[in-house]
Chains A and B, each alone.
Chain A
């Protein structure tokens, strides 16, 4: 067997609640700015939604895309296009055979706006008025398919769907494609555009959302005793992954390497995490082992940490279960405190933030952590960002989803 192909990150893109680009998003996260705001939409009052705020997109896609692109893509596809174009430009538009280029963009929910608008049109105006692109715009792969078309990617277009783990799973899938020799370059990440009354009503019915309507920017508070649920966010984050030797040969900027990927499933409950974190810890251990590392090598964790009372404790248990005493002094950041929870794009966005933390050697501070929950047994970065050490370092990104999906990826410095 020949030596295993290495996979590196050479481009970053993001459109999020705190910035229209990856650098803007990183800058906002380092500055501790929240993307949560009161929703200005009339449907909030119309449906008397119990939650009146969300981490809505910072930059309207209409400012970036053409009118026709906006018309022909569900918002989730629009966000994916914006982030993937930024990542591709950031990678220096590598010259690649289309047959060796893949597009892997995950999503949790898919084209929910298109689906429900088309349903309204059908009921109000009849079948002839339903937009002919309704089906291709509502299918979940309306995330990866437009990106594949836009980029000319012909090695494969894939849409992992694993709720809030989708975005990181897509990155992991793309890394596997390159390792296995099925592609040389991939654009990979996640997208979500579900700030819509129906998902809000559904998540609220589960008691999953924060109801801190009077102070949206204080609502996402992972690890704080006052946390009462997650803050719904939207947007997309995409990276360019590339085979290491080729990236080096063309002189690309290499942000990080995909060290190892771990995945598992809880088979415990359709929505609740397994409280002892057995499944999640298996994913983390596997990621570290596949990277050829030990827990001592992990100098930073970007946690899933959604700010739900149960989930944050379960993840803390899982991390301790995976790494034991090595967890002490392992700086953990919960960036959802600023960005909100982007569902199927969350893991991708946190992947980008983990990569940037490694690249700039700084772990961002978690905001809104005023009263640390003693049930959390982690070294959480808060107050101010923390410098990461020089030399070869590695960071872990966790992403979990309803359905018991656990994905962990170890990124390493190059």
Chain B
């Protein structure tokens, strides 16, 4: 039951909103987690763990540093969802 990238983006935006209070509309694919959304490494780990739970994927710690933008995370989740 893989989700579309749009559905993943919306789900991810909800997780980011929950963690940071940022509007879901501000969570766009081209946005950088650190530079644009001002998300620190601790919040990033919370987002990652919540995303794993929500989307049924495993995001290895080594992979997290490659997820620079929201789009990177959406693509990774889409590719690894079973």
Interface of A toward B, CB cutoff 8 Å: 66-68, 71, 128-129, 131-133
Whole-angstrom distance between the alpha carbons of A66 and B18 in the complex?
11
Interface residues of B in 44-82 (CB under 8 A from A): 45-46, 49, 53
Give chain B's interface secondary structure class: helix
Determine if B49 and A71 form an interchain contact, defined as CB atoms under 8 angstroms apart: no
Contact status of A66 and B21, CB under 8 A, knowing A132-B42, A133-B42: yes
Tell whether, in the assembled complex, residue B45 and residue A132 are in contact, meaning their CB atoms are under 8 Å apart: yes
Please name 7 pairs of A and B residues whose Cβ atoms are closer than 8 Å in the assembled complex, sorted by A.
Answer: A68-B19, A71-B18, A128-B49, A131-B46, A132-B43, A132-B45, A132-B46
Q: With A and B bound together, what is the CA distance between A128 and B45 in angstroms?
A: 9
Give complex CA distance A66, B23 in Å: 13
A132 contacts across to B, CB distance below 8 A: 42-43, 45-46
In the complex, what residue of chain B is closest to A130 when comparing beta carbons? B49
User: A67 contacts B42, CB within 8 Å?
Assistant: no
Residue pair B45, A68 in contact (C-beta under 8 Å): no
Compute the total of residue contacts between A and B using a CB distance below 8 Å: 18
CA distance A66 to B19 in the complex (A): 11
Kindly identify which residue among B20, B42, B49 contacts A129, using a CB–CB cutoff of 8 Å. B49
Q: What 16 new A-B contacts, CB under 8 Å, besides A66-B21, A129-B53?
A: A67-B18, A67-B21, A68-B19, A68-B20, A68-B21, A71-B18, A71-B19, A128-B49, A129-B49, A131-B46, A132-B42, A132-B43, A132-B45, A132-B46, A133-B42, A133-B46
B48 → chain A closest CB, angstroms: 9
Complex interface bits, B33-49 against A, C-beta within 8 A gives 1, otherwise 0: 00000000011011001
Give chain B's interface residues, CB within 8 Å of chain A.
Answer: 18-21, 42-43, 45-46, 49, 53
B contact residues around A67 at 8 Å (CB): 18, 21
Docked Cα-Cα span, A67 to B18, in Å, equals 8
Assembly CA distance A383 to B21 (angstroms): 49
Task: Give the Cβ gap from A67 to chain B, nearest Cβ, in Å.
Answer: 6
C-alpha gap A112/B21 in the complex (Å): 25
Q: Which residues of chain A are near B19, meaning CB under 8 Å?
A: 68, 71
Neighbouring A residues of B21 by C-beta, 8 Å: 66-68
